């Protein structure tokens, strides 16, 4: 039976000093986390005062993906609300809020906490806030599966569309950098890679995709960026075999491979070994981390965004994105392909 295609029809990005996907091709971005708060207020309007930083960034990227896809950004204008799903990928998310609330309770009493802080301590606050803001009443999921979580989020929501459970989905990856997330990130890296491991700074930003069924895309007359293909997860030690299996579903040779973060020496060696398996015609390689730094839960979504915009702007037809494999044994890969000629 033929698999129903799932299209990427919108992209959104919120990183310091840039909101343009084209910036992902240039030199390394600043590690600053400073932003003009007025930009976000003008974009999203009221209702942000008591939102945590991760939720604000996720809302910003989701807003841009909806605009890029030609869809409403007000819940009251969103049509077919039960048919729109949301997935958020973040491993640290609202950790700062959770730590602050826990500290307040630990040093005093639950009565000392703000009633406006407690809802923001929910692990699903990012995904639920996106759904409430933009009028999405379908599936609502939060993915926290380490470096693979972004690919997992895209894969699961694409499958939900193929199964007919929803017609569209907003998938957002977001991580923030503050004293709480930086501390936990450093301990995570050193627990996996050794006490002397160099800890790359965590990104402070968000990336978003708008996924859509073929029926929905045709009804709206949109031009898709790309098609979401099959996915595969495997231990990092089996990376070459996993990539080979995905590449075999591509007619012709694979054009580009978005690698995991090559900052980590052991992972870089595995990437090099996997890449060498394409001896006859190796694909081009891109390492998003070389530009944005360690993006962790954002990684898979950001790679899909970059793959989509690259395929649209070039004559390339296929890309594989791979994330994970550093602070875990797992990797997750996903095939992204150019839409059929009729959609060009």
Contact 265, 273 (CB under 8 A): no
Residue 339 lies in a domain: yes
- Looking at the structure, tell me whether residues 20 and 120 fall in a common domain: yes
- Looking at the structure, tell me whether residues 152 and 273 fall in a common domain: no
Instruction: From 220, 238, 265, give the residue that closes a domain.
Output: 220
Instruction: From 172, 199, 220, give the residue that closes a domain.
Output: 220
Check residues 66 and 344 and name the one with the higher pLDDT.
Answer: 66
> Based on the structure, what is the number of domains in the chain?
2
How many of the other CB atoms lie within 10 Å of CB of 342? 5
Residue 14 lies in a domain: yes
Contact 239, 274 (CB under 8 A): yes
Q: Which CATH number does the domain housing residue 144 bear? A: 3.40.47.10
- Looking at the structure, tell me whether residues 167 and 236 fall in a common domain: no
- Looking at the structure, tell me whether residues 197 and 250 fall in a common domain: no
Instruction: From 201, 220, 239, give the residue that closes a domain.
Output: 220
Q: For 44-60, how does the pLDDT look when each residue is reduced to its tens digit (9 = 90+)?
A: 887 777 888 999 999 99
Q: What is the model's pTM?
A: 0.94
Residue 65 has pLDDT above 90, yes or no: yes
Helix (H, G, I), strand (E, B) or coil at 109: coil
Q: For 158-183, how does the pLDDT look when each residue is reduced to its tens digit (9 = 90+)?
A: 999 999 999 999 999 999 999 999 99
- Looking at the structure, tell me whether residues 96 and 235 fall in a common domain: no
- Looking at the structure, tell me whether residues 35 and 143 fall in a common domain: yes
- Looking at the structure, tell me whether residues 215 and 237 fall in a common domain: no
- Looking at the structure, tell me whether residues 34 and 69 fall in a common domain: yes
For residue 180, the number of C-alpha atoms closer than 13 Å in the C-beta half-sphere is 17
Q: For 260-309, how does the pLDDT look when each residue is reduced to its tens digit (9 = 90+)?
A: 998 888 888 888 888 887 766 888 999 999 999 899 999 999 999 999 99
Residue 1 lies in a domain: no
Distance of alpha carbon 36 from alpha carbon 17, whole angstroms: 9
Residue 213 has pLDDT above 80, yes or no: yes
How much is the average pLDDT of 252-264?
90
Residue 193 lies in a domain: yes
Strand intervals (E) in the chain? 6-14, 84-89, 140-143, 168-175, 205-213, 226-235, 256-258, 284-286, 318-324, 330-337
- Looking at the structure, tell me whether residues 182 and 125 fall in a common domain: yes
Question: Average per-residue pLDDT in the chain?
Answer: 89
Q: For 322-341, how does the pLDDT look when each residue is reduced to its tens digit (9 = 90+)?
A: 999 888 889 999 999 999 87
- Looking at the structure, tell me whether residues 232 and 216 fall in a common domain: no
- Looking at the structure, tell me whether residues 170 and 269 fall in a common domain: no
End-to-end CA distance of the chain: 25
Residue 47 lies in a domain: yes
Domain that holds residue 74: 6-220
- Looking at the structure, tell me whether residues 187 and 259 fall in a common domain: no
């Amino acid at each position: 039976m033929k698999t129903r295609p799932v299209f990427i029809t919108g992209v959104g990005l919120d990183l310091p000093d840039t909101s343009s996907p084209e910036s992902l091709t240039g030199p390394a971005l600043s590690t600053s986390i400073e932003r003009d708060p007025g930009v976000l207020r003008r974009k999203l309007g009221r209702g942000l005062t008591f939102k945590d930083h991760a939720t604000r960034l996720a809302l910003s990227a989701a807003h841009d993906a909806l605009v890029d896809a030609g869809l409403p950004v007000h819940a009251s204008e969103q049509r077919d609300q039960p048919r729109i799903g949301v997935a958020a990928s973040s491993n640290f998310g609202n950790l700062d809020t959770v730590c602050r609330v826990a500290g307040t309770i630990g040093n005093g009493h639950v009565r000392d906490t703000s009633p406006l802080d407690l809802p923001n301590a929910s692990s699903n606050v990012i995904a639920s806030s996106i759904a409430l803001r933009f009028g999405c009443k379908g599936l609502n999921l939060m993915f926290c599966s380490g470096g693979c979580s972004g690919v997992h989020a895209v894969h699961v929501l694409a499958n939900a569309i193929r199964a007919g459970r929803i017609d569209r989905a907003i998938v957002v990856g977001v991580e923030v950098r503050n004293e709480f997330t930086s501390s936990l990130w450093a301990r995570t890296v050193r627990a996996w890679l050794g006490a002397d491991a160099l800890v790359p700074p965590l990104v402070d930003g968000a990336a978003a995709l708008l996924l859509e069924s073929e029926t929905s895309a045709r009804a709206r007359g949109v031009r898709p960026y790309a098609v979401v293909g099959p996915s595969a997860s495997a231990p990092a030690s089996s990376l070459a075999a996993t990539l080979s299996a995905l590449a075999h579903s591509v007619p012709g040779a694979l054009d580009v491979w978005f690698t995991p973060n090559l900052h980590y020496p052991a992972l870089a060696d595995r990437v090099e070994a996997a890449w060498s398996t394409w001896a006859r015609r190796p694909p081009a390689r891109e390492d998003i981390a070389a530009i944005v730094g360690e993006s962790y839960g954002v990684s898979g979504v950001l790679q899909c965004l970059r793959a989509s915009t690259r395929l649209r702007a070039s004559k390339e037809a296929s890309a594989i994105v791979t994330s994970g494999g550093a602070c875990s044994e797992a990797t997750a890969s996903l095939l992204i392909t150019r839409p059929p000629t009729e959609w060009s």
